Structure 1
């Protein structure tokens, strides 16, 4: 079942053309160029200060653009006020009115935009139902849990029937269990509403589970754009490799010589690459305990994860992790061996960090 948003909802393709933001000599966003198709769920992902929230604020009209253009359905919106861009934002802080009950908080955007009052009840009830708040409509925000307050903020955005949803780290104030359940709710909502959504987060699990496409950013620069699977399976550089995944990809500096990678504690044959300085990457879950001894080092630490045991060793200056079966038994300091064939490895240029 899909919920129709009504006549107010339109198609919304967003184009960001050479978008930049500078404050004096500091570059917040550098030449961001991307087309976001109608109904796509796009996640901007990166560490604090990478430019993702600044990009969203420029789209919303809350931040002035230094260079470039923003087009929504072919219409340049650079000079439009936020209220005229037909976007709805959900912030990290819930920004609810404490003196209004849930019903009036959800209804507030309809009053401000002077929507026909005869439609208010139906639209509020429909939005409340979508986020499972119908039993809480007469409560004040102070009487709600953090997760319920965030759902009120979501309903308030839904009731607007906007062309675009902008969500700025909406789950970061919630505890771990609530983050999981609210994330599932946002995923389901995006499927039901079919509205173009841009979602900002520093949490790569949120990005991987929610996005149609992910934009990985660092220091204002786009590092890679792709589906979660593409970014996980073929990271464009060592930054993306080290940022995506839990745990992040193991990265070991070394040399390629005659098709053999040699690094501190690693000797892996089977590559068809020229000699030179490289960084080798592999994921903890891709290594196995049988079949070879490419990795041979004492155990640094053991972590039981429930479905597996994470074994970490120190080789050179790097900590390297391998997922072992949950019944794996050993002690810190025991010698550990793992099979890391060339076929599971990623190779990056030793100087630029770019994928080879």
Structure 2
């Protein structure tokens, strides 16, 4: 097991900056998720930790050693890739066993370790098959077992579920969660899927354009996003963000008027989540016409337009309406988030709590 530290780490290719002055401490046995859109720097960060990319500036520590100049094989980490990377001519058993052979582990230990790793991911009945005879989910489990069998200090996982269908993602996600609980190894997991991040992580690093936007527990990031990027990236549906102006303590936008007791004035971006507000028969702080209605089974998702913004409201599962019908929504003060219009940074919210500290260009976490 190992603590991993990144100190002022940057990665550049000429004038292009992939990761910008990244600082992060990952605790021993922590499950940390790097989350962000394509091109945000999350995979580059993982590849630098693995030794697959050189660091332009800064230091990477694994345990009590700087590993910048160590080969990947000498860092005592194991990677699980999106593409599985299995040998098609080898059986499942031999694919799992392969890391033991190349690392010179005594042959007397191989069978016990392979069987133990295979049992952890429920591959016992498939050990004699070759990868071509396996489903996508089974192949991903072989890749996990091959990573487990090495018994490394840390696991690095690069979007391991992205090739699976929705049902397999759910079951494999649960398996990864259980494996981490069992193995208690430091794990760094890269994904663009915020549901994976919220369900798996002890902490989440939200990245964009090579910078850390926010670091925190899934609950902290969901409940108090540091800026409009995080607010729009986390949640399904994403947080509603509406541009308007505050005058005399009242926020106003098309079809909206509600008090903002924060001492702010002028142009702001107001946010609220679909599940934190309520459809009411009349009145409320938002009035509009229904743009669409979607039945989700456990709820009804109603959309309306406020200026250019498409706003989502989660109503009761038996709520019914028609497109074009009037819609009235009550927005409690506790549901409101307030962001600076120009910078996108969180100002505060109607709970009176101060704004959460956000990252600067240093990417300090």
Q: TM-score of the superposition, structure 2-length normalised?
A: 0.94
Q: Map 1:204-353 onto structure 2 (within 5 A).
A: 204-290=194-280, 292-353=283-344
Aligned partner of 1:354 among 317, 323, 345: 345
Q: Give 1:67 shift.
A: 0.4
Q: Distance in 1 between matches of 2:257 and 2:334?
A: 14
- How many residue pairs get aligned? The number is 346
Structure 2 Cα separation of the partners of residues 214 and 203 of structure 1: 12
**Aligned equivalents of 1:316, 1:248: Cα separation in 2:** 17
Displacement of 1:273 in angstroms is 2.5
Segments ≥4 residues shifted beyond 4 Å: none
Distance in 2 of aligned mates of 1:22 and 1:276 = 39
Which secondary structure state, in structure 2, belongs to the residue aligned with residue 104 of structure 1?
Answer: helix
State which of 36, 40, 43 in structure 2 corresponds to 1:53: 43
Whole-Å Cα distance in 2 between the matches of residues 269 and 163 of structure 1? 52
Structure 1: runs of 5+ lacking an equivalent = 1-10
Cα distance in 1 between the residues matched to 2:195 and 2:283: 32
Q: Which aligned pairs between 1:65-144 and structure 2 lie closer than 5 A?
A: 65-144=55-134
Q: Deviations over 1:122-141 (max 9, x none)?
A: 00000000000011000000
In 1, Cα distance between the equivalents of 2:11 and 2:302? Answer: 43
Question: How far, CA to CA, are the matches of 1:74 and 1:225 in structure 2?
Answer: 23
Q: Which runs of 5+ in 2 are unaligned?
A: 348-365
Deviation for aligned residue 1:270: 4.4
Q: Which moved more, 1:16-25 or 1:335-344?
A: 335-344
1-structure distance, mates of 2:147, 2:228:
37
Per-residue CA distance 1:215-254 (angstroms, 9 max, x = gap): 0000000000000000000000000000000000000001
Q: Deviations over 1:273-316 (max 9, x none)?
A: 22121100000000012384211101000000000000000110
Is contact 2:246–2:260 with CA below 8 Å preserved after alignment?
no
Cα pair 1:256 1:274 within 8 Å, conserved: yes
